[in-house]
Structure 1
């Protein structure tokens, strides 16, 4: 019997309108730990309002903090494509993450040209949609909030060959993008899965000694 290869998490960048895969950054080594924070939303400015204490007007703000390690000397070819070229170290992998939080040179030049002609761009072009993949049950549309890179070793041309990357992302919800947006659909699938797993837990009140009151 052939053993299944371990799943590799990572970030997939999609065209937000067509859904085409633009780039993929697999985690070279799956993270040892992930810190998740959920902050429920309340109604109104007064968080202590008795009438609103148990009302939930929308999804919580959920953030992930992930620490990933990369090593240019040990990059296997991922399914569907070869490993990045070794001569540039980790510059390719790091650049994919870094360009996800910046407009392209073409977009910046276009904005400058329009401004020089006295034209205001109403809405900038949408950036690729990052999707955090943590196995088949957690496929999450996210917004990149921060990227911290610690470069730990270099080759002879000062290309980084070993680095630790801390990614901070926030889950995009239907409140952020609406129900018709691709990210909104992914969020609903994620939430449905969470509700399904919650339904598998069937303890009764006796499990904690609760007798009512």
Structure 2
């Protein structure tokens, strides 16, 4: 598919996997097409309805923010150019790189099995890379994938998928989850501070727009 030469460069969203200790980039996953929508929801972390009535406005921490995107993956362009990988396995590499975000590695599984077989009393939970969801330069957030589904919609003659829709739900990891000293905690703080800077750009209107002249 050709692009009109005068078209502006299109920024794409995606997920970057980094080493949680060093922040070294391990993998960059760019969405083939930007989703038409990004669903964001917030669960307020307050002192709760049962708290003392003198503290109704207190917050216990940042809200629990969840993100959901639905992306499409299509091999049409690659098939038109006879891409060798696509001809061989379809879009399975693109699907697999997303799927393996929620898998421990086979090496980790084998190492834990070896430890268990040797009589180790404690098996350390397997750590995954830190996932960063990036949706423009002001939205770089550490996330944990909480739900993932794939609908494969078309196949080649060898039943390799060549078109699919992917739904990914993510929970934003805050300093409550990671701590202030963690690489992800620093990125979260930058994310929240960006929100505050953007909020400061908002210019409100007068009370008369609301049909009133004063609050009290």
Q: Scaled by the length of structure 1, what TM-score is found?
A: 0.89
Shift of 1:155: 1.2
**In structure 1, C-alpha distance between the alignment counterparts of 2:45 and 2:199, rounded to whole Å:** 20
**Contact 1:153-1:162 within 8 A present in 2 as well:** yes
**In structure 1, C-alpha distance between the alignment counterparts of 2:125 and 2:39, rounded to whole Å:** 32
Alignment match of 2:53 (pick from 50, 53, 63): 50
**In structure 1, C-alpha distance between the alignment counterparts of 2:194 and 2:50, rounded to whole Å:** 29
Shift of 1:117: 1.7
Aligned position for 1:113: 114
**Contact 1:84-1:92 within 8 A present in 2 as well:** no
Compare CA radii of gyration and give the structure with the larger one: 2
Structure 2 unaligned segments of length 5 or more: list them.
none
RMSD over equivalenced CA pairs, Å: 2.1
- Which stretch has the larger CA shift, 46-55 or 29-38? 46-55
Deviations 1:61-94 (A, max 9, x none): 000111100102235xxxxxxx993122111111
Residue 104 of structure 1 pairs with residue 108 of structure 2:
no
Residue 64 of structure 1 pairs with residue 67 of structure 2:
yes
**In structure 1, C-alpha distance between the alignment counterparts of 2:24 and 2:76, rounded to whole Å:** 30
**Contact 1:144-1:168 within 8 A present in 2 as well:** yes
**In structure 2, C-alpha distance between the alignment counterparts of 1:111 and 1:52, rounded to whole Å:** 47
Q: Number of residue pairs matched?
A: 206
Aligned position for 1:7: 11
Aligned position for 1:32: 36
**In structure 2, C-alpha distance between the alignment counterparts of 1:152 and 1:164, rounded to whole Å:** 8
Aligned position for 1:78: none
**Contact 1:111-1:121 within 8 A present in 2 as well:** no
Aligned position for 1:80: none
Structure 1 unaligned segments of length 5 or more: list them.
76-82
Shift of 1:47: 4.0
Aligned position for 1:79: none
**In structure 1, C-alpha distance between the alignment counterparts of 2:184 and 2:104, rounded to whole Å:** 20
Moved over 6 A (4+): none
Task: Summarize the alignment of residues 167-206 of structure 1 with structure 2, pairs less than 5 Å apart.
Answer: 167-203=168-204, 204-206=206-208
Q: Alignment partner of 2:54: what SS?
A: helix
Q: Scaled by the length of structure 2, what TM-score is found?
A: 0.88
Aligned position for 1:208: 210
